[in-house]
Amino acid sequence: MDRQTNDIERLISRWLDGEATAEERRRFKQIVRDDPAARELMRKTVAVDRAVSQAMYRALRPQLQPATTKLRIRLAQLGGFGVAAGLLLALWLVHEQPRNGVRLAGPAQASVSWFAPPTAAADRIAPVEPADERPQVQVRDTQRDWIIVPGCEPGEYLLIAIDRVRTRAVRIERDF
């Protein structure tokens, strides 16, 4: 590499890093304007510099993102939680509350039970009185709000609403 190219490289590097003096910046502009080879060298250097810089940021982003960005992310997270909490509150307020210990079961309500957190202990299932045609099972000692028991036929389920101490079969749903 000849001395002139070396000088131009150094000038480009100083210019990229914001370390060039006013005189160097003037000389740099002139060289880039007059010399196509210097212009090409600058174009390549800038392209590589930016690409590598972006790649490093992408690789280390969670570790090196500025504090302001972290703060923004945290605020966005808090905002998200706030919106979610608001929606849940609104749902709870408009939802029909149980009055006599039994909710009116329906597909929309049934879907709640699908996503309810499972309890640590398994539900106890006991046989019922022979006189009852349905339900075929009883569930005791559970903390769940809703329990789904497979029915006699495929796609048939027994949906049970649990209200503290009382257990009652509400409705049989098919393929929900």
Partner 1 sequence: MSVAAKAEALAGLVAAARRGNRPAADRLVREHERWLRAVIYGATGRAELVDDVAQHVWAQVWKRLDTLGDPRRLRSWLYSIARNAAIDASIARSQKDGRTVRLEALAAGRADERTPTPAAALIGEETQRLLLQAVGALPALYREPFVLRHLENWSYAQIAEVLGVPVETVETRLVRARRLLREMLEDKVS
The smaller minimum CB distance to partner 1, of residues 44 and 95, is found at: 44
73 is an interface residue for partner 1 by CB under 8 A: no
Q: How far apart are CA 2 and CA 5, in angstroms?
A: 5
52 is an interface residue for partner 1 by CB under 8 A: yes
4 is an interface residue for partner 1 by CB under 8 A: no
Q: How far is CA 118 from CA 52, 113, 147, in A?
A: 48, 9, 11
Q: How far apart are CA 36 and CA 20, in angstroms?
A: 21
The smaller minimum CB distance to partner 1, of residues 44 and 168, is found at: 44
The smaller minimum CB distance to partner 1, of residues 51 and 87, is found at: 51
**SS3 category, 161:** strand
44 is an interface residue for partner 1 by CB under 8 A: yes
Q: How far apart are CA 72 and CA 160, in angstroms?
A: 45
Query: What phi and psi values does residue 173 have, to the nearest 5 degrees?
Result: -110, 150
Whole-number minimum distance, CB 12 to partner 1, in Å? 8
Reported residue count of the chain is 176
Residue of the chain from 58, 126, 141, 175 that contacts partner 1 (CB under 8 A): 58
69 is an interface residue for partner 1 by CB under 8 A: no
Residue of the chain from 4, 29, 48, 85 that contacts partner 1 (CB under 8 A): 48
Residue 24's nearest CA partner among 11, 37, 13, 7 is: 11
Q: How many chain residues bind partner 1 (CB under 8 A)?
A: 27
Question: Do residues 139 and 149 touch, judged by C-beta distance below 8 A?
Answer: yes
The smaller minimum CB distance to partner 1, of residues 16 and 102, is found at: 16
User: Can you give the binding site for partner 1, defined by CB under 8 A?
Assistant: 1, 9-10, 12-14, 16-19, 44-45, 47-49, 51-60, 63-64
